[in-house]
A and B are shown apart, each in its own frame.
Chain A
């Protein structure tokens, strides 16, 4: 291996044997030792012929969807799994950050856990001694080090684990899994500051993620893994673009979406509830997938009154993200500060249309239309998870929404 290469991955393939019936009790061996079915297993390909070299000092990204095989690759590079074919050569000392606080024991004190965790990463007591103060300072836990870990809050545990890992791991090669970057905003900021420092210090880092904004910001180069193979490698910008393309609907998906839309029109998705009297239908969105070029999104639905219902109504809707958190919502009472009266009677159906700017971050969103009573505000009908749409946004931000912002500066 050349001296300037930190990690060399050559033709790595990995299969997992998934036995049909696991022979994990000796009974199954003894009861029917000649049963040929016992040894049948399914080969599941996790990685196929993966090769790349990472030069020293490079911040290298491995990106891919869930289940693409990137975590398996990470474990092979870390030496936890053995590849069936090919080899991984690491030039220097490798510290994996696959999970924080591996081996932390709740019954031990913070101090004892620091030494245990250090030993698991291969640091002797003396080496930890030297850096102990720095670890404690970084975690801001001076007063708690002699308390048992089980009395720590989860935030404190994460802080301790993170500082042990970062202060100790002044190694040649770092392996960082995206799970590191979970936690509260303050902790994420600390993580990203640490990444910046690593980049500044010219450390060799392998960063596994599906957060394209982080990949763009920190990685020099990246590979994109899809269906167990490297399908693209290049600069982080190029890879991020290719990654986004994975989510563009192909013909097959387009058909599926069309079907979904039809069913949405028929009002077959979601659940309707409320005191009744009105019924929403013909729910449509201007598109099913919105990209940066789509500046506006429009939504429309029809409201029908049942035979004996006539009153003033307040139609509206709410948009929720994939986690179910509301992003925004409105209704005619809010829009027109109670100056708009909409009457409904069995004789005439009305169709409402709403248009709003595409300010969404990348992700999946759900629309929930609703109709309230104009006289007493009671929910006449609420349509849970009525229709979903997807947004592809190359400029996603870590905030709830990303509106277009105009900026000017004057000297």
Chain B
């Protein structure tokens, strides 16, 4: 009984803190800028405008993909969410070092808070995408609900990486530069700006390797359900059903490693920062 009460009070503290940290972060994000919260909408809109002009009118890479503008935007938005969660997470522990040295709150809360702030951004971006879907005449179906488990998968993957990165960053301050490079390489190694069908046409093996990346799998599945049934997914690239589970297995393994590593390292954070 005592144990249950203890566990409950422990998570109560985490929830209170998480809520307040996310609210604070949201309040602070656009403090001092003239347009304030409008930027949360303006930023994705401006990005979309640029991408639209460059890729749909000039490069015409995806002219054979229906609704390529929305296809592109969905990919960029989900990728940005992934980078935001990992980047927020990376600096979460070190950035809150001052707090960590003075209070004994559950350490994971600051990492999770960073991912929730990014989640708010993602939701705002998805609203903008919905707007573009209407403009582009993409039909809305109930299959759009598939986005929920897909975003959940992306959330778990990004958060697990954030846990690992944040704990590593306490000891190795080079991690942020390394991660920056990984993200840049990842941006081009993931079919974000180009349709994966192009890769399949050139080298099926490359496409097969590419789609095992959980982020790529999530992107393509999201595009399949939201934008166009013609999008390539892991099930069109691999015939073997077991291969379809590889990205999910990767997510689960990374999540377990992230949780264990963070749990092991977190008691020492206050001393090491």
Which residues of A are at the interface with B, using a C-beta cutoff of 8 A?
16, 23-27, 29, 75, 78-82, 96, 98-99, 102-103, 105, 107-108, 112, 115-116, 118-125
- Give the size of the chain B interface in residues (CB under 8 angstroms): 30
The one of A16, A24, A112, A119 in contact with B171, judged by C-beta atoms closer than 8 angstroms, is: A24
B267 A119 Cβ-Cβ under 8 A: no
A82 B24 Cβ-Cβ under 8 A: no
The smallest beta-carbon distance between A18 and chain B, in angstroms, is 11
A119 B28 Cβ-Cβ under 8 A: no
B103 A120 Cβ-Cβ under 8 A: yes
The smallest beta-carbon distance between A188 and chain B, in angstroms, is 22
Q: What separation, in Å, do the CA atoms of A27 and B175 have in the docked complex?
A: 11
Given contacts A78-B104, A96-B103, A98-B102, contact A120 B174 (CB under 8 A): no
B146 at the interface (CB under 8 A from A): no
One of B15-23, B54-62, B254-262 at the interface: B15-23
Give A27's nearest chain B residue, CB to CB. Answer: B174
20 sample A-B contacts, Cβ–Cβ < 8 Å, listed by A number: A25-B172, A25-B173, A26-B175, A29-B172, A80-B103, A81-B270, A96-B102, A99-B102, A102-B99, A102-B103, A108-B27, A108-B28, A112-B24, A112-B27, A119-B20, A120-B17, A120-B99, A121-B103, A123-B16, A125-B20
A103 B16 Cβ-Cβ under 8 A: no
A75 B270 Cβ-Cβ under 8 A: yes
Give A123's nearest chain B residue, CB to CB. Answer: B16
Contacts of A24 in B (CB 8 A): 171-173
Contacts of A75 in B (CB 8 A): 270
Q: A119-B19, A122-B13 are in contact. List 10 more A-B contacts (CB 8 A).
A: A24-B172, A24-B173, A80-B103, A102-B98, A103-B99, A108-B24, A115-B20, A124-B12, A125-B16, A125-B20
The smallest beta-carbon distance between A151 and chain B, in angstroms, is 14
A79 B104 Cβ-Cβ under 8 A: yes
Which residues of B are at the interface with A, using a C-beta cutoff of 8 A?
12-13, 16-17, 19-21, 24, 27-28, 31-32, 98-105, 171-175, 178, 267-268, 270-271
The smallest beta-carbon distance between B166 and chain A, in angstroms, is 15
Q: What separation, in Å, do the CA atoms of A82 and B172 have in the docked complex?
A: 21
A80 B17 Cβ-Cβ under 8 A: no
Contacts of B267 in A (CB 8 A): 82
Give B14's nearest chain A residue, CB to CB. Answer: A122
Q: What separation, in Å, do the CA atoms of A116 and B113 have in the docked complex?
A: 14
A80 B16 Cβ-Cβ under 8 A: no
Contacts of A116 in B (CB 8 A): 20, 24
The smallest beta-carbon distance between B97 and chain A, in angstroms, is 12
Contacts of B98 in A (CB 8 A): 102
Q: What separation, in Å, do the CA atoms of A108 and B175 have in the docked complex?
A: 31
The smallest beta-carbon distance between B200 and chain A, in angstroms, is 37
B28 A107 Cβ-Cβ under 8 A: yes
Contacts of A98 in B (CB 8 A): 102-103
A105 B17 Cβ-Cβ under 8 A: no
The smallest beta-carbon distance between B29 and chain A, in angstroms, is 10
Contacts of A121 in B (CB 8 A): 103
Q: What separation, in Å, do the CA atoms of A115 and B22 have in the docked complex?
A: 13
Contacts of A81 in B (CB 8 A): 270-271
Give A29's nearest chain B residue, CB to CB. Answer: B172
The smallest beta-carbon distance between A71 and chain B, in angstroms, is 11
A120 B172 Cβ-Cβ under 8 A: no
The smallest beta-carbon distance between B114 and chain A, in angstroms, is 16
Q: What separation, in Å, do the CA atoms of A96 and B101 have in the docked complex?
A: 12
The smallest beta-carbon distance between A128 and chain B, in angstroms, is 10
Q: What separation, in Å, do the CA atoms of A120 and B105 have in the docked complex?
A: 7
Give A121's nearest chain B residue, CB to CB. Answer: B103
B104 A107 Cβ-Cβ under 8 A: no
Contacts of A99 in B (CB 8 A): 102
Contacts of B102 in A (CB 8 A): 80, 96, 98-99, 102
A96 B173 Cβ-Cβ under 8 A: no
The smallest beta-carbon distance between B103 and chain A, in angstroms, is 6
Q: What separation, in Å, do the CA atoms of A24 and B101 have in the docked complex?
A: 19
The one of A80, A105, A118, A124 in contact with B28, judged by C-beta atoms closer than 8 angstroms, is: A105
Given contacts A98-B102, A102-B103, contact A16 B271 (CB under 8 A): yes
The smallest beta-carbon distance between B143 and chain A, in angstroms, is 38
Q: What separation, in Å, do the CA atoms of A80 and B103 have in the docked complex?
A: 6
Q: What separation, in Å, do the CA atoms of A121 and B270 have in the docked complex?
A: 17
B173 A119 Cβ-Cβ under 8 A: no
Contacts of B178 in A (CB 8 A): 26
The smallest beta-carbon distance between A281 and chain B, in angstroms, is 51
Q: What separation, in Å, do the CA atoms of A120 and B99 have in the docked complex?
A: 9
Q: Which 6 A-B pairs have the closest CB atoms?
A: A79-B104, A119-B20, A82-B267, A26-B174, A122-B13, A102-B102
The smallest beta-carbon distance between B1 and chain A, in angstroms, is 15
The one of A25, A29, A80, A123 in contact with B101, judged by C-beta atoms closer than 8 angstroms, is: A80
Contacts of B27 in A (CB 8 A): 108, 112
The one of A102, A107, A119 in contact with B16, judged by C-beta atoms closer than 8 angstroms, is: A119
The smallest beta-carbon distance between A86 and chain B, in angstroms, is 14
Q: What separation, in Å, do the CA atoms of A125 and B17 have in the docked complex?
A: 10
Q: What separation, in Å, do the CA atoms of A105 and B20 have in the docked complex?
A: 13
Contacts of B13 in A (CB 8 A): 122
The one of A26, A80, A112, A118 in contact with B172, judged by C-beta atoms closer than 8 angstroms, is: A26
Q: What separation, in Å, do the CA atoms of A115 and B23 have in the docked complex?
A: 11
Q: What separation, in Å, do the CA atoms of A27 and B173 have in the docked complex?
A: 10
Give A26's nearest chain B residue, CB to CB. Answer: B174
